[in-house]
Amino acid sequence: MSLRIGDDAPNFTAQSTEGEINFHEWLGDSWGIIYSHPADFTPVCTTELGRTAQLKDEFARRDTKVIAVSVDELKSHHDWVKDINETQNCDVDFPIIADTDRNVAELYNMIHPNASTSVTVRSVYFIGPDKKIKAIITYPASTGRNFTEILRVVDSLQLTANYSVATPVDWEQGQDVIISPAVKQEDVEGKFPKGHRVIKPYLRYTPQPNK
């Protein structure tokens, strides 16, 4: 059965470039991203892992841990990391799981047989501190991921987890957000002291509460 938003994130123990990892223990109370790569020594994956390493401080600022998955073996991962560091001018210091038995790939539905029976698609799972799946993005192997969007999703998830708001189309940090329809109009001023504007009774904007 495919995983869906709100489901428990499956736990697993696996070997990685950072040693053996129990996923839930490794995640602790942090937010997390687990994402898959079709294969080692492939061009698009090299740029993606490099970009992840370059964004280390951005993920840390959001208390978000990142872990990658590939069905290749551990030695291959270590050798590949050298190429990534060299070509992407970075230092890969996050774990890459050696999923040779495809256990993790199967748990997280990362192999789509109509695309390939042997390698993973580019899946991204966003996981909250409660170990629940908060969002899922899936790309084909031919399309590199947009890490600006991945960070934006983390920002939205963390914001909306703590305030009764939603983020509108193309929202970015610091922009106005939408007040949840569940908030009664008579309660708006108390909940959102920065003010608000009403476009329609169901469409109410307020400045980002945590900025």
Q: Are residues 173 and 133 in the same domain?
A: no
Provide the domain count of the chain. Answer: 2
Which of 145, 176, 193 corresponds to the end of one domain?
Answer: 145
Q: Are residues 120 and 171 in the same domain?
A: no
Is 6 inside a domain boundary? no
**Domain region containing 195:** 163-206
CATH of the domain at 134: 3.40.30.10
- Model pTM? 0.94
Q: Are residues 106 and 30 in the same domain?
A: yes
Query: What is residue 119's predicted lDDT score, i.e. its pLDDT?
Result: 75
Residues linked to residue 31 through DSSP beta bridges, in sequence order: 64
Q: Are residues 111 and 175 in the same domain?
A: no
Query: What is residue 118's predicted lDDT score, i.e. its pLDDT?
Result: 62
> Per residue, what are the HEC states of the chain?
CCCCCCCECCCCEEEECCEEEEHHHHHCCCEEEEEEECCCCCHHHHHHHHHHHHCHHHHHHCCEEEEEEECCCHHHHHHHHHHHHHHHCCCCCCCEEECCCCHHHHHCCCCCCCCCCCCCCEEEEEECCCCEEEEEEEECCCCCCCHHHHHHHHHHHHHHHHCCEECCCCCCCCCCEEECCCCCHHHHHHHCCCCCEEEECCEEEECCCCC
Q: Are residues 37 and 139 in the same domain?
A: yes
Give the active site residues. 45
Alpha-carbon distance 60 to 32, whole Å? 11
Q: Are residues 42 and 102 in the same domain?
A: yes
Is 151 inside a domain boundary? no
**How does pLDDT run along the chain (211 residues), one tens digit per residue?**
589 999 999 999 999 999 999 999 999 999 999 999 998 999 999 999 999 999 999 999 999 999 999 999 999 999 999 999 999 999 999 999 999 999 999 999 998 877 775 678 899 999 999 999 999 999 988 999 999 999 999 999 999 999 999 999 999 999 999 999 999 999 999 999 999 999 999 999 999 999 8
CA-to-CA dists, residue 98 to 15, 117, 126, 128, 135, angstroms: 6, 18, 20, 23, 24
Is 133 inside a domain boundary? yes
Query: What is residue 62's predicted lDDT score, i.e. its pLDDT?
Result: 98
CATH of the domain at 193: 3.30.1020.10
Q: Are residues 62 and 117 in the same domain?
A: yes
Alpha-carbon distance 190 to 6, whole Å? 29
Is 84 inside a domain boundary? yes
Is 153 inside a domain boundary? no
